[in-house]
C-alpha cells in the first residue's frame, strides 16, 4: 500500500501545485513551529456572498452532480488554451487602479513549501489521510526586462529543494521523493507578464538531471510558475471589491475548469491583502499522462475540489510577500488496462506556503 501511496502522490503533485498557485499566487510564511505531524486542517466551505445591488453577476459554472463536465461544456465557459477570463464583480470602496509596477533588474528570492495529506481506497483497502513529508523549493526571480508596451519579462530559477519528514513514519516516503524533487534543481522559466497579470510566451528550461518520474510533476509545476502573478481586474477596485478569474488548467493529465474569486481586504500603497475562494470542475472525464503505458486509460468518475486562502501582494515585486492557501480534492478514478478495470478513490488536502527567505 505504501508504493500505491507514493504513486498517488506523484500523480497528485501537479494538480496540487497548479491549483494552489493558480488560485492564490501569494502564500504564507514558512513558520518553524508549524506542527506537520498533525493532520492538515480541512478548510470550511466558503459560501458565496449575497448579491449586492449594482454588482455584476459571476460567470456561472455548470453544476454537474459528480463534478465532471460533459464533452464541450467547459468550452462554453472558457475554451481550452484561452487566457484566463477576468471580471470585476464589485468595485468596493474608494476604488483605485490595481496594477503591477515592476522595476527592471529587481530580483527576489522566494521559498515555496507544500504540506500534503493523501488518503486512498483501492483493492478493498483503505488508507486514511496520511501527512506526507514537507517539500520546499527555493527560487531566484528576476525582472529581466521591460518592453515599450509596459510588459515585464520574468526569469525564475529553482535553486534549492528539500524533502523534510516529520518523524520516522515519513522517512521512507521522503527517501522515495527526494530524487524526484532534488532532480528538478536548475529548472528555469521565462515569461512576459502585463501590468494586469496576463502571462504569455512562457519558456521552460528543463535540466537534463530531471528524472523521468518527475516529468509529470513538472507538467503541473510549469503552469503553476506561470500563475505566480494574480490576474488583476481591468477596472479600479477598492476595499471590499471582488473580481473573478476563470481559467483552464492542465494538471496531472486532468483538464480542470477553475473559478477563483478574489476580495480586496485592505491596501496600503503597493501592498494589498486579498482573500480568495475557489471551485474546480473536471473539464473532461479522461486523464492523459505520458507516463501511462500503452493500452492503459484512466477515467474520472467523480471530482470535488474547493479551497480558500489569504494572500499578501506587493505590486512592485514579482515574488509573493505572504499568504496561505489550502485545497481539498476528492476524486474517484477507474483505470483500465490489460483487460481489467481497477477503481480507486483519492483524497488530498494540500497547503502551500511561501515566504521570502
The DSSP line for 164-190 is E-SSGGGHHHHHHHHHHHHTTTT-EEE
Q: Could you tell me the pLDDT band of residue 172, with boundaries at 50, 70 and 90?
A: confident
Helices (H), the chain: 2-23, 73-77, 171-182, 215-226
State the CATH number of the domain containing residue 177: 2.30.230
Residue 225 lies in a domain: yes
Res 48 pLDDT > 60: no
Output 202 or 39, whichever has higher pLDDT: 202
Residue 11 lies in a domain: yes
Cell numbers for 311, please give them: 494572500
Q: pLDDT value at position 37?
A: 38
Inter-CA distances, 140 with 25, 137, 164, 256, 341, Å: 16, 10, 21, 29, 45
Number of domains in the chain: 1
Average pLDDT over residues 12-25: 42
What helix, strand, coil percent values describe the chain, rounded to 5?
A: 15, 45, 40
Q: What is the pLDDT of residues 241-256, one digit of tens each?
A: 999 999 998 776 789 9
Q: pLDDT value at position 216?
A: 57
Average pLDDT over residues 152-156: 94
Residue 44 lies in a domain: no
Q: Could you tell me the pLDDT band of residue 65, with boundaries at 50, 70 and 90?
A: very high
Q: pLDDT value at position 69?
A: 97
Q: What is the pLDDT of residues 68-126, one digit of tens each?
A: 999 999 999 999 989 899 999 999 999 999 999 999 999 999 888 889 998 989 888 88
Q: pLDDT value at position 3?
A: 41
Residue 209 near residue 186, CB atoms below 8 Å: yes
- The sign of the CA dihedral 177, 162, 171, 354 is negative
- The sign of the CA dihedral 166, 168, 174, 175 is positive
- The sign of the CA dihedral 242, 248, 251, 256 is positive
Res 283 pLDDT > 70: yes
Res 321 pLDDT > 50: yes
Average pLDDT over residues 196-204: 89
d(CA 8, CA 318): 32
Q: pLDDT value at position 112?
A: 86
Tell me which residue range forms the domain holding 105: 2-34+55-355
Give the contacts of 168 (CB within 8 A, at least 6 positions apart). none
Q: pLDDT value at position 204?
A: 83
Nearest alpha-carbon partner for 202 in 194, 193, 210, 215 = 193
Q: pLDDT value at position 223?
A: 53
Lowest mean pLDDT: which of 140-149, 260-269, 295-304? Answer: 295-304
Q: pLDDT value at position 126?
A: 86
Residue 40 lies in a domain: no
Output 348 or 39, whichever has higher pLDDT: 348
Residue 47 lies in a domain: no
Residue 7 lies in a domain: yes
Residue 201 lies in a domain: yes
Three-state DSSP state, 320: coil
Cell numbers for 328, please give them: 481539498
d(CA 19, CA 260): 10
Residue 41 lies in a domain: no
Output 136 or 323, whichever has higher pLDDT: 136
Amino acid at each position: 500500500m505504501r508504493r500505491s501511496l507514493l504513486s498517488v502522490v506523484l500523480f497528485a503533485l501537479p494538480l496540487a501545485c497548479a491549483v494552489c498557485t493558480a488560485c492564490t499566487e501569494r502564500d504564507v510564511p514558512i513558520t518553524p513551529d508549524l506542527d506537520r505531524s498533525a493532520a492538515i486542517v480541512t478548510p470550511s466551505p466558503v459560501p458565496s456572498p449575497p448579491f449586492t445591488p449594482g454588482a455584476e453577476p459571476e460567470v456561472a459554472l455548470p453544476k454537474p452532480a459528480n463534478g465532471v463536465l460533459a464533452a464541450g461544456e467547459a468550452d462554453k465557459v472558457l475554451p481550452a488554451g484561452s487566457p484566463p477570463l477576468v471580471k470585476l464583480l464589485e468595485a468596493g470602496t474608494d476604488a483605485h487602479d490595481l496594477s503591477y509596477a515592476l522595476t527592471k533588474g529587481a530580483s527576489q528570492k522566494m521559498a515555496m513549501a507544500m504540506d500534503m495529506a493523501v488518503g486512498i481506497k483501492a483493492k478493498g483497502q483503505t488508507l486514511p489521510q496520511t501527512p506526507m513529508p514537507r517539500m520546499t523549493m527555493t527560487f531566484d526571480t528576476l525582472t529581466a526586462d521591460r518592453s515599450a508596451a509596459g510588459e515585464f519579462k520574468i526569469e525564475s530559477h529553482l535553486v534549492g529543494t528539500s524533502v523534510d519528514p516529520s518523524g520516522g513514519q515519513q522517512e521512507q516516503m521522503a527517501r522515495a521523493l527526494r530524487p524526484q524533487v532534488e532532480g528538478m534543481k536548475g529548472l528555469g522559466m521565462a515569461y512576459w507578464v502585463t501590468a494586469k497579470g496576463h502571462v504569455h510566451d512562457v519558456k521552460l528550461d528543463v535540466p537534463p538531471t530531471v528524472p523521468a518520474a518527475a516529468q509529470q510533476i513538472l507538467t503541473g509545476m510549469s503552469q503553476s510558475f506561470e500563475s505566480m502573478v494574480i490576474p488583476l481586474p481591468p477596472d479600479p477596485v477598492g476595499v471590499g471589491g471582488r473580481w473573478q478569474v476563470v481559467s483552464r488548467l492542465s494538471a496531472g493529465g486532468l483538464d480542470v475548469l477553475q473559478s477563483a474569486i478574489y476580495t480586496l481586504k485592505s491596501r496600503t500603497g503597493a501592498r494589498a491583502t486579498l482573500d480568495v475562494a475557489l471551485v474546480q470542475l473536471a473539464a473532461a472525464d479522461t486523464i492523459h499522462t505520458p507516463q501511462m503505458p500503452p493500452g492503459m486509460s484512466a477515467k474520472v468518475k467523480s471530482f470535488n475540489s474547493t479551497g480558500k486562502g489569504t494572500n499578501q501582494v506587493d505590486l512592485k515585486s514579482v515574488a509573493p510577500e505572504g499568504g496561505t492557501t489550502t485545497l481539498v480534492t476528492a476524486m474517484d478514478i477507474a483505470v483500465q488496462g490489460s483487460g481489467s478495470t481497477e477503481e480507486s478513490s483519492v483524497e488530498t488536502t494540500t497547503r502551500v506556503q511561501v515566504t521570502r527567505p
